[in-house]
């Protein structure tokens, strides 16, 4: 790290003072000749600090001294500090501060720690917690050690509310037993507002980091920064603004061209073309770029890219090797027209396999043209496996139709973004019932980012659920994604995110195959939670939440759940998963049946001749001797209680259940749908049995009722919903 990037303590003090933030009274001592001009009285308590470039911890190097002021002592300490730092650090100066008597308690620490860091993907982020020499120890011991606030999504008033619930806030505001207030909310809010103004100016001032430890309270209750260091930002990139990605080109393309088809077995381009031919587009709406051939597989061929200028398309797919892809894209840009959106299929562009710098060439091409305001297409990829647009039955995935038969949902309510193509196609294969209207595999995000795709998809009012699998956000895109998601969520929709590359090993693996820019996951997680995004850390939970919210997009969180099962273990497991759990952070989510509820359920029990076999409780453990009618009567009764969530667990091995008769299964499902419609409740079904019951599960799923293989598949995600909407 260059010493020129280091921000020493005097500079931090000056910066703080310029924003109205308090520091101790101080003076600068550069040489012994400055001593007579120091503004301190003899015997006054002062702190002498030796400053050197890249010196972060002065006390460790003998550069911090507490003395009673006299010219003789200052001279002695000045020489001692210089001697201690000589040969280790480039000398700057001595900072002499009037010792501040700050407020303290006998039982608790009162010092705070605050830092402002410009995260590459999230923008300025403020951290706050207990300070002093034991900052790290306190952070590791507390359930919430450090509070994190992304500046663009959290306001000072919100930060104040979080401080009030943190240990340092309870100490400062005197809410602990036998404590008295050391400050007021107004004074801390004023301090936070000043910190926010400073953080918002980080980009302008080219600052990367400021760390202030400790921050103490003076006798009037105002925060004072006693010690601070920082870093300037050596990168300070200029981010070129990209034009908005038009919905018509992205979501409703009427003309598509492809370059890179071949008769060679396994050709990606030819597989893509085959999928396009089988879409709702006519062959006249599809073009192939292939010199020397008039048509290919019945589709007209253009001899070169120049023909696209005269006959432009919304989408151009380039399924060529990396080197040729770069040349093709360069030609397209130089001719200044031909396609609104370009999908780059090739890998080896900006990822771990790119040893020739092809990705850098493409990035430079895009940046140069945008900076000059020259025509440039929107580029998605490289390493983009393809897209799915259900209303047009378009798939540009280079996966054969016999390997991945796609269930197109014309009126689907899910928009899906995946940095990994494999993740997307396995969701399509495993859960064909998911009503995905649009799916985009965005690869390395060399141009258009996850936030661009999310924003454009949000223009379709039919979409209610947005799912995203992202391994890395490029510079500044995490905050753009969060801000876009926040707007989507404020409109009553849901955004569900699986963030890959959370560990250092995961980041390395992500970078190896997608060139992902994996950032600090802890910061990003806070950012996304503040925006209202539901964060999942398991693939099965991600799929379960997509399934649940696509069926019930207005659903928020479970607070009163009713469960019915014909297996005792599921009833017990329901209580285990949904009962109060301090570790997972949710109360008892199982609804308590009232006297009227029990009376109604007892009536159903007697009506279906089950008296003496079952009890009116929640979970309701219905006997395996019960048939379809008893199930339907009971689940309707449960749905007519105050429960907002009703779960029907079915072990279909019981002979009384008609699970192989398609007509009776259809009638059973129709009545379940009527229960949902008439009661307005969210109803889920669990069928925990083997493969011979797949058709039964499939019929339920295709009706739009979410169905799961086990109680864990649903109850863990439901508990997650509670936590997500309680933050």
d(CA 443, CA 385): 7
Q: What is the pLDDT of residue 510?
A: 41
* 237 lies in some domain: no
626-679 pLDDT per residue, tens:
889 999 999 999 999 999 999 999 999 988 899 999 999 999 999 999 999 999
Residue 502, beta-bridge partner list? none
CATH number at residue 44: 3.30.1490.20
Lowest-confidence range among 80-94, 434-448, 575-589, 653-667?
575-589
Q: What is the pLDDT of residue 507?
A: 41
62 with 204, same domain: the answer is: no
383-413 pLDDT per residue, tens:
999 999 999 999 999 998 999 999 999 999 9
Q: What is the mean pLDDT of residues 321-345?
A: 95
347 with 439, same domain: the answer is: yes
Euclidean distance between the first and final Cα of the chain, in Å? Answer: 38
d(CA 497, CA 469): 6
Task: Please say if the pLDDT value at position 585 is more than 70.
Answer: no
510 with 405, same domain: the answer is: yes
228 with 273, same domain: the answer is: no
Mutual angle of helices 539-551 and 711-724, in 10-degree steps? 80
Task: Please say if the pLDDT value at position 311 is more than 60.
Answer: yes
690-726 pLDDT per residue, tens:
999 999 999 999 999 999 999 889 888 887 777 666 5
* 302 lies in some domain: yes
Q: What is the mean pLDDT of residues 65-78?
A: 96
646 with 627, same domain: the answer is: yes
Q: Taking a C-beta distance cutoff of 8 angstroms, is the pair 697, 687 a contact? A: yes
* 294 lies in some domain: yes
Q: Taking a C-beta distance cutoff of 8 angstroms, is the pair 683, 545 a contact? A: no
Strand residues in 36-78 grouped as ranges (E): 45-52, 64-68
Look at residues 551, 569, 589 and tell me which one is the last residue of a structural domain.
Answer: 551
522 with 490, same domain: the answer is: yes
582 with 615, same domain: the answer is: yes
Distances (CA, A) of 217 to 97, 191, 192, 214: 16, 11, 14, 10
**Phi, psi dihedral angles at 312 (to 5 degrees):** -65, 155
Q: What is the pLDDT of residue 348?
A: 79
- Domain of 147 in residue numbering reads as 112-232
Residue 188: how many CB atoms within 10 A of its CB?
A: 23
488-539 pLDDT per residue, tens:
999 999 999 999 866 544 444 444 433 333 347 788 888 898 899 999 988 9
Burial 582-598 (b: 16+ CB within 10 A, else e): eeeebeebbbebeeebe
Token look-up 């399934």 returns 547
Q: What is the pLDDT of residue 447?
A: 94
319 with 434, same domain: the answer is: yes
Look at residues 98, 121, 141 and tell me which one is the last residue of a structural domain.
Answer: 98
Instruction: Say which residues have a Cβ less than 8 Å from residue 566's Cβ, sequence separation at least 6.
Output: 621, 622, 623, 624, 626, 631, 649, 650, 651, 654
674 with 590, same domain: the answer is: yes
Within 13 A of 61's CA, how many CA atoms are on the CB side? 21
pLDDT band, very low/low/confident/very high, at 143 (cuts 50, 70, 90): low
d(CA 704, CA 551): 6
* 623 lies in some domain: yes
Alpha helices in 491-589 (DSSP H): 504-514, 521-531, 539-551, 568-578
Token look-up 């295709």 returns 702
Look at residues 232, 259, 277 and tell me which one is the last residue of a structural domain.
Answer: 232
Token look-up 């019945």 returns 298
HEC secondary structure over 368-381: HHHHCCCCCCEEEC
Q: What is the mean pLDDT of residues 280-296?
A: 96
Q: Tell me how many degrees the CA angle 59-63-65 measures, rounded to the nearest 5.
A: 85
Percent of the residues in the chain that have a pLDDT greater than 90, as a whole number: 75
141 with 87, same domain: the answer is: no
Of the candidates 280, 357, 289, 359, the residue with the CA atom closest to the CA atom of residue 319: 289
* 663 lies in some domain: yes
Show the tokens assigned to 417. 């973004």
Q: What is the mean pLDDT of residues 353-378?
A: 90
* 9 lies in some domain: no
**Mean pLDDT across the chain:** 90
CATH number at residue 441: 3.40.50.261
pTM reported for the whole predicted model: 0.85
Q: What is the pLDDT of residue 120?
A: 80
Task: Please say if the pLDDT value at position 576 is more than 50.
Answer: yes
Question: How many domains are contained in the chain?
Answer: 4
* 659 lies in some domain: yes
CATH number at residue 184: 3.30.470.20
532 with 594, same domain: the answer is: no
* 11 lies in some domain: no
**Phi, psi dihedral angles at 194 (to 5 degrees):** -70, -40
587 with 635, same domain: the answer is: yes
Task: Please say if the pLDDT value at position 37 is more than 80.
Answer: yes
Distances (CA, A) of 133 to 112, 137, 215, 523: 10, 9, 12, 23
234-277 pLDDT per residue, tens:
875 555 678 888 899 999 999 999 999 998 887 899 999 999 99
Instruction: Say which residues have a Cβ less than 8 Å from residue 350's Cβ, sequence separation at least 6.
Output: 358, 359, 360, 362, 363, 382, 444, 446, 515
Within 13 A of 525's CA, how many CA atoms are on the CB side? 15
């Amino acid at each position: 790290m260059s010493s020129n990037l280091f921000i020493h303590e005097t500079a931090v003090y000056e910066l703080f003072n310029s924003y109205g933030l308090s520091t101790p009274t101080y003076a600068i001592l550069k040489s012994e000749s400055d001593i007579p001009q120091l503004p301190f009285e003899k015997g006054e308590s002062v702190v002498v600090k030796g400053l050197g470039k890249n010196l972060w911890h002065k006390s460790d190097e003998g550069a911090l001294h507490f003395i009673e002021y006299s010219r003789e002592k200052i001279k002695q300490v000045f020489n001692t500090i210089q001697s201690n730092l000589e040969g280790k650090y480039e000398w700057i100066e001595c900072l002499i501060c009037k010792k501040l008597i700050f407020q303290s308690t006998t039982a608790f620490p009162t010092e705070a720690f605050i830092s402002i860091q410009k995260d590459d993907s999230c923008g300025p982020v403020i951290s706050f917690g207990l300070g002093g020499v034991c900052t790290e120890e306190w952070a590791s011991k507390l359930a919430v050690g450090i509070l994190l606030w992304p500046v663009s999504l959290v306001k000072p008033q919100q930060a104040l509310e979080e401080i009030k619930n943190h240990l340092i806030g309870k100490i400062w505001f005197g809410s602990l037993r036998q404590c008295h207030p050391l400050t007021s909310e107004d004074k801390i809010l004023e301090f936070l507002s000043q910190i926010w103004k400073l953080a918002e100016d980080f980009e302008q001032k080219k600052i990367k980091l400021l760390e202030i430890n400790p921050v103490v309270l003076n006798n009037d209750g105002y925060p004072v920064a006693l010690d601070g260091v920082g870093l300037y930002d050596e990168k300070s990139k200029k981010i070129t603004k990209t034009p908005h990605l038009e919905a018509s080109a992205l979501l409703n393309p009427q003309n598509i061209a492809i370059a890179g088809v071949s008769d060679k077995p396994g050709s990606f381009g030819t597989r893509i073309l085959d999928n396009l031919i089988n879409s709702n587009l006519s062959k006249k709406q599809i073009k192939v770029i292939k010199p020397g051939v008039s048509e290919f597989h019945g589709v007209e061929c253009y001899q070169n890219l120049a023909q696209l200028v005269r006959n432009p398309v919304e989408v151009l797919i380039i399924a060529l090797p990396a080197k040729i892809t770069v040349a093709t894209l360069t030609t397209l840009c130089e001719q200044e027209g031909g396609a609104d959106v370009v999908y780059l299929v090739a890998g080896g562009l900006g990822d771990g396999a790119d040893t020739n710098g092809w990705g850098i060439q493409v990035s430079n091409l895009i940046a140069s043209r945008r900076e000059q305001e020259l025509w440039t297409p929107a580029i998605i990829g490289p390493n983009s496996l393809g897209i799915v647009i259900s209303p047009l039955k378009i798939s540009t995935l280079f996966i054969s139709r016999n390997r991945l038969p796609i269930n197109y949902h014309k009126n689907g309510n899910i928009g899906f973004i995946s940095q990994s193509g494999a993740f997307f196609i396995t969701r399509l294969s495993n859960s064909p019932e998911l009503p995905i209207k649009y799916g985009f595999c965005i690869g390395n995000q060399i141009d258009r980012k996850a936030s661009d795709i999310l924003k454009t998809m949000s223009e379709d009012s039919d979409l209610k659920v947005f799912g995203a699998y992202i391994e890395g956000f490029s510079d500044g895109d995490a905050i753009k994604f969060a801000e876009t998601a926040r707007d989507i969520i404020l409109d009553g929709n849901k955004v569900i995110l699986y963030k890959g590359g959370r560990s250092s090993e995961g980041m390395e693996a992500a970078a190896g195959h997608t060139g992902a820019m994996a950032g600090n996951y802890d910061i990003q997680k806070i950012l996304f939670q503040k925006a209202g995004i539901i964060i999942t850390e398991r693939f099965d939970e991600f799929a379960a939440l997509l399934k649940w919210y696509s069926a019930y997009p207005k659903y928020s969180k479970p607070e009163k759940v009713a469960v019915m099962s014909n297996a005792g273990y599921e009833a017990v497991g329901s209580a285990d998963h949904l009962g109060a759990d301090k570790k997972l952070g949710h109360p008892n989510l199982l609804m308590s049946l009232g006297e009227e509820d029990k009376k109604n359920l007892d009536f159903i029990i007697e009506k279906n001749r089950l008296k003496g076999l079952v009890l009116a409780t929640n979970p309701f453990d219905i006997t395996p001797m019960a048939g379809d009618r008893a199930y339907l009567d009971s689940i309707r009764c449960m749905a007519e209680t105050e429960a907002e969530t009703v779960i029907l667990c079915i072990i279909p091995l019981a002979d009384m259940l008609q699970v192989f008769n398609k007509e009776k299964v259809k009638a059973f499902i129709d009545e379940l749908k009527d229960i949902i419609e008439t009661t307005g409740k969210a109803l889920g079904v669990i069928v925990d049995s083997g493969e011979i019951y797949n058709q039964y599960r499939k019929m339920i799923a295709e009706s739009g009722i979410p169905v799961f293989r086990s109680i864990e598949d649903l109850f863990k995600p439901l508990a997650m919903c509670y936590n997500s909407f309680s933050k």
